[in-house]
Amino acid sequence: MYNKTILENGLRIITERLPHSRLTSVGIWVDVGSRDEHDLNNGSAHFVEHMLFKGTRNRTAEQLARELDVLGGTANAFTARDTTCYYATVLDRHLPKLVELFADLFLNSRFDQEDIDKERQVILQEISMVEDTPDDQIHDLFAALLWGRHPLGNTVLGGREVVAAMDAKKLIDYVQKQYTPDRILIAAAGNVEHDAFVRLWQDAASLPAGSGDAPPARRPPQSLSPQRAIYSKPLEQVHVLLGTYGPPAASVDRFTFMLLNVLLGGNMSSRLFQELREKRGLAYSIYSYIVPFADCGYLSIYLGVDREVVNEALSLVVREVNRLVNEPVSAAELADAREFSKAGLYLAAENMESIMMRIARNEFVFGHYVTFEEVATAIDQVQPVDIGRLAGQIFANDLTMTALGPLQADEVDWALLGWKK
């Protein structure tokens, strides 16, 4: 059973009760991410996420960690380009304690300058880790190319210079401006009684009122002309990412977009996986994925290949993209993609954390609960003609491409992607 309450200050609390479970998963979501930053404070949302676990007026960082561990579940947080989330899954009997702990770290974090200086080094190491992991770094390089000067092109972690200059005043100012009640959503799934859960939060503390000024409205990105970039680096492989713009999260084409991705490179039977890995052995890792935001979206294709076969691999990728545009998908192939997608949907329904995250994302995107049956029905309604139509729309322009590894620009046959040398 799903329930929703909006408090007087605008904060939303949503729950999905599953009384057969002994677990409850809770997430504090903030509709804030790296896209709500600019060049001089990029990385703030991520830095704040770290600092909320570094001690409150009531507990040290070690006490917070120990008390969360004693609950016997999992506790973590993440920052994305459009949201920040603090979440945990515990036995249902520990729910009151979890709420008290979360309320403390969310409302009473100290942002002590000494702790900030220590955590800065941790974040700088995190940035170094990404830079040392090319199949991670390539995604940030691609986003910068695809979105240009728009904040979506910035990294979540932020630049080294900005992180190095971060201090308590800047972080506190960011929280006061961005962590306003109307942007905060508390979600819970599992053995949770809604009214009792709401009372727990009302009793925990007064939630923040913010600075009184509305945060700056998000600026929708513009579609740029296709770009290309080669980042030469002495690696064993060339890591390539190609992509283009797609529909936003609430689009009527969202399920068509999802199935198109499955067909292209979303699983082991997908066209790209079969052609490049299984039939030709050109790549160990080859896949496609989609990223839908509230006002935009994109599709990307990743492959890691030897330098000598870059052009051969690119020609096969372009061939499979053109097939989706020009040749109808068979009913049997689409039926398999539908079953794969619905299986993933129902498998996620067995995981309490996934359920909590699903209802939260639906609230942000649609403002209401979406049943599994609604999604399954919508998936079944997608037809081959829909795949061809959407493929023709999103692949109407040339693909943006970035590559990282032992490669020079003059080694790439840009004509394969519609580019002239």
Active-site amino acid positions: 49
What is the number of H-type helices and E-type strands within the chain? 15, 11
Tokens of 313: 């691999």
| Half-sphere exposure (Cβ direction) of 322: Cα atoms closer than 13 Å | 10
d(CA 164, CA 119): 11
378: helix, strand or coil? helix
Q: For residue 303, what are the β-bridge partners? A: 240, 286
183: helix, strand or coil? helix
- Residue 40 DSSP symbol: T
For residue 44, what are the contacts with CB-CB under 8 A and spacing of at least 6?
37, 158, 166, 170, 171, 174
d(CA 373, CA 286): 31
Q: Which of 28, 138, 82, 39 is nearest to 402 (CA)?
A: 138
To 10 degrees, the CA torsion angle through 16, 17, 22, 26?
30
d(CA 370, CA 253): 16
Backbone angles phi, psi at 382, to 5 degrees: -70, 130
Give the length of the chain: 421
Q: For residue 13, what are the β-bridge partners? A: 5, 186
d(CA 81, CA 84): 8
Q: For residue 190, what are the β-bridge partners? A: 17, 24
d(CA 380, CA 387): 13
d(CA 103, CA 107): 6
